[in-house]
Amino acid sequence: MKYSSRKNVIEINHLEKTYITGDISLKALNDVSFTVKEGEFVAIMGPSGSGKSTMMNILGCLDHTSVGEYKLSGVNIEDLDDDQLAEIRNKRIGFVFQSFNLLPKLKAWENVALPLVYSGIHLHQRKEMAVKALEGVGLGERIDHRPNELSGGQRQRAALARALVTSPNIILADEPTGNLDSKSEEEVLTIFKELNQKGVTIVMVTHEDGIASHCKRIIRFRDGKLIKDEVIDHEFYRDF
Ligand SMILES: Nc1ncnc2c1ncn2[C@@H]1O[C@H](COP(=O)(O)OP(=O)(O)OP(=O)(O)O)[C@@H](O)[C@H]1O
Ligand SMILES: [Mg+2]
């Protein structure tokens, strides 16, 4: 498929984000514009404090901004009410964070089933879906384990299963391998690549060149500005 005929999933135009703390105002994002089309696998890189997480929170509709425009699958986020935003966060977007954010008292499958709680799906079926998601990340043998009974890599895979249980078409991951050893890092990356091959659009923050080199494109931030947008997978972006 030609790159230009793919649909826009994310469209950011002249976005700014200013944090105000007491008397100090800090521009964490400064005139940022870019587009991500369906099927892309984008790495976001840049020094600490350059605005990567700020960008991810806005992309995930966890935070908003009054300057600039954000269109998600063609819909202007500004035009949505709270219920519609919650629906998008719940069903369309899967989040993966560096710190896993699993609830310690819940078993792996219960953690994974959490995003389904408000879906109206019956408990029996929620468990079935959670177990399937855990099997998909190679944790079929660990469904009753609690987070402290899992290794770091297994925890991150459980967090990934939780992000995938709703079958989102976008995955947003903020340093998903930041706390992992190199073997677990590779496992998570392999799952991401398989998902992307199935058509899931992925935007992932990483500090590691080795990881970014597996993505299709690298966007670099510095001081809140997008300073470089680089194609890795030239085949994907060909337009003829
Ligand atoms: N809630 C907040 N209130 C005020 N300032 C903030 C807030 N969140 C982030 N900042 C500031 O905004 C800037 C960008 O932060 P951000 O977390 O986006 O950086 P980052 O690129 O993700 O860094 P890292 O690689 O360390 O995670 C930083 O200077 C940070 O101190
Ligand atoms: Mg960050």
So where are the chain's domains? 40-61+79-231
**Using CA positions, which residue lies closest to atom 27 of ligand 1?**
48
Q: Which two tokens stand for residue 29?
A: 């994002």
- What mean pLDDT is predicted for residues 66-88? 91
% of the chain at pLDDT higher than 70 = 100
Mutate to test the pocket of ligand 1, among 19, 25, 177, 220 (most ligand atoms within 8 A of CB): 19
Say which ligand is closest to the CA of 208.
1
- Domain 40-61+79-231 class, CATH top level: alpha beta
Ligand 1 binding pocket includes 54 (Cβ within 6 Å): yes
Residue with tokens 């079926």: 125
pLDDT in tens, 87-118: 888 888 999 887 778 999 999 999 999 989 87
Give the chain's radius of gyration (CA, Å).
18
pLDDT band at 144 (very low <50, low <70, confident <90, very high): very high
Burial of 165 (0-12, 13-18, 19+ CB in 10 A): buried
**pLDDT for position 62:** 87
**pLDDT for position 119:** 79
Mutate to test the pocket of ligand 1, among 29, 30, 53 (most ligand atoms within 8 A of CB): 53
**pLDDT for position 182:** 86
Question: Cα 91 to chain center, whole Å?
Answer: 13
Q: Which residue has the higher pLDDT, 56 or 100?
A: 56
Beta-sheet pairing, 41-45 with 217-222: parallel
**pLDDT for position 183:** 86
Say which ligand is closest to the CA of 32.
1
Residue with tokens 């005929």: 5
What distances in angstroms separate CA 185 from CA 144, 175, 199, 213, one per listed residue?
23, 11, 21, 14
Q: Which atom of ligand 1 is nearest to the CA of 21?
A: 4
Query: By mean pLDDT, which of 110-119, 175-184, 191-200 is the weakest?
Result: 175-184
Which residues sit with Cβ closer than 5 angstroms to ligand 2, an ion? 53
pLDDT band at 209 (very low <50, low <70, confident <90, very high): very high
Average pLDDT, the chain: 93
Q: Which atom of ligand 1 is nearest to the CA of 51?
A: 18
Q: How far is the C-alpha of 67 from the C-alpha of 54, rounded, in Å?
A: 14
**pLDDT for position 51:** 97
**Using CA positions, which residue lies closest to atom 28 of ligand 1?**
49
**Using CA positions, which residue lies closest to atom 9 of ligand 1?**
54
The H or E element spanning position 9 is: strand 8-21
- What mean pLDDT is predicted for residues 31-38? 98
Ligand 2 center from residue 39 Cα (angstroms): 24
Query: By mean pLDDT, which of 5-9, 141-145, 184-188, 232-236 is the weakest?
Result: 184-188
Contacts of residue 200, Cβ cutoff 8 Å, sequence gap at least 6: 168, 169, 170, 171
Ligand 1 binding pocket includes 115 (Cβ within 6 Å): no
**Is the pLDDT score of 29 beyond 80?**
yes
**Is the pLDDT score of 240 beyond 80?**
no
